Structure formats: structure tokens, C-alpha cells
Amino acid sequence: MGLLSNRVERSEIKAGDHIYTYRAVFAYSHHGIFVGGSKVVHFTPRHDANSSTETSANSYEEKYDLPSSCPTFPDCGFRQPNSGVVLTCLDCFLRNGSLYSFEYGVTPSVFLAKVRGGTCTTAMPDPPETVIHRAMYLLQNGFGNYDVFQNNCEDFALYCKTGLLIVERSGVGRSGQASSVVGAPLAALLSSPLKLLMPSPIGVATVTAGMYCMSRYATDIGVRSDVIKVAVEELAVNLGWGEGGDEEEDNGVTDQLIAM
């Protein structure tokens, strides 16, 4: 892994890895959990099955990166009704994009060196079997409503990897990508009074960049004080995202979906 890129080859990823790919000419990244068997579980804005039509369903699939059909895997695109958590094959997840691996347990210096958010965290990951269990459980029970700043695809992958949940669901979520969007204008705003004291544009740019990096670091789940560890079964029940299912039945569905 380099400081500028976390790009990896398919042969390098393992079940339980947090992966991502860029969309719209690197405008944003889409995240998911690789669960093995060339399958990825990821989170998108949910589709209301009760009001769907053939046209609206096709538009939804195209907009949110879901395959309308996959000749390789018949279960590609599997999701529960009214849920945004979806299982797709790796090819459909990447959509001809490059594959990147999200880094965990990085040092503060490495985190700050990664200028773009949504690539790493100082938080430590849980064992792969725990990560896969969370991802497949949420595939069956959902992950709530999609929100760009508080509950997006990166938030989903971060929760699956760490089990960490923000206590107060206000402001920005766990997503480093969202923190970057919020942090950039915040840094510019905070540094603006210093322009009077900085005769050089380079000095202003340096201060702004420093504040941007520190605002990103302050919202990282590895250093935040407003996060707690929540079991996935408690997450679904307590937050009303699902009723929770029989664990043995879920495990059977998990094995079947990954193996297909």
C-alpha cells in the first residue's frame, strides 16, 4: 500500500476485506465488504418495492450501481424488499473500475498523509469471520435509511469491520469521505481570519491544509469519543432496522449465497 494509492489486485483481497472503487471520474468512491466467492455486500439508497414499476426499478438499478442482470452469478443483486443492503459479484461492484483496499490501524502520521478521505482509519478491525457475519446479517435485516453524510456505503463497511456506532446520530457519520467534504469548507472558514496575518498565499494555503487534515483526523472513528461497540443483532433490533432472525437460519442463507 502506498501513501497515494491503496490500489490492489483481485488476488490480494481476502474474505472480510473492506474494498472500494471510484465512480464518476474519481468524484466519489463506493465501498463494500468482500465476503468471498467473488461476492461483495454493499449499501445503497433503498428501493421501495411497494411502489416500484419495471421502469422505475431499472432506473434505480442504473443510478445506484445494481446489476439488472448478471450472466455469471444468478443471485447477483440479491437484497431484501425495501432494503439498501445488496449482494453483488465483484465485477458488477467494480463496473470496470479499479479495486482499492481500505486500510485499518494506520498511524496518525499515515492518516494525515492520506490527503483524500475515505481511504483509511486509525481504528482496528475485527476478525474476518465477525466482519462477514455482520455483513450477511445486515443483508438479511437491513441497515436503515441511506444518508450521504450520516449513513452511507462507507459507514456500512466501517461498521461491519469494527462494530463501532456513533452514539449521537447528528452531524457527520463515520465516513471519512463525508468528513472530507465537510472539512474542506470548514478549514477554509477557520483559516480566513488568519489571512490578515499571513502576507504570503503559500502561508494561507499551508494553514488551510493543516486545518483540513486535523478536521478529518478529529472525525476518524479511531479517535472519536462518541462511538460505542454494538453487536449487529442489537443494532438491528434497538434501532428498528429489523426484527432480527434465527441465527442458524441466517448462517445457512449466508453459506448458500456466498457459495453460489
Residue 34 phi, psi dihedral angles, 5° rounding: -80, 120
Q: Is residue 18 annotated as part of the catalytic site, yes or no?
A: no
Q: Which residues pair with 147 in a beta bridge?
A: 151
Radius of gyration of the chain (CA): 19
Which position among 92, 153, 160, 213 bears the catalytic label? 153
Using alpha carbons, list the distances in angstroms from residue 239 to 53, 169, 236, 244: 29, 11, 6, 11
Residue 133 bears catalytic tag: no
Active-site residue (options: 30, 31, 47, 133): 30
Give CA angle at 97 (59, 1), nearest 5°.
Answer: 140
Of residues 18, 31, 42, 133, which has the active-site annotation?
A: 42
**Whether the Cβ atoms of residue 106 and residue 18 lie closer than 8 Å to each other:** no
Strands of 17-23's sheet in order across: 85-89, 39-43, 28-36, 17-23, 100-101
Report the helix count and the strand count for the chain, using DSSP H and E.
9, 7
d(CA 166, CA 218): 14
Residue 213 bears catalytic tag: no
Residues marked as catalytic: 30, 42, 153
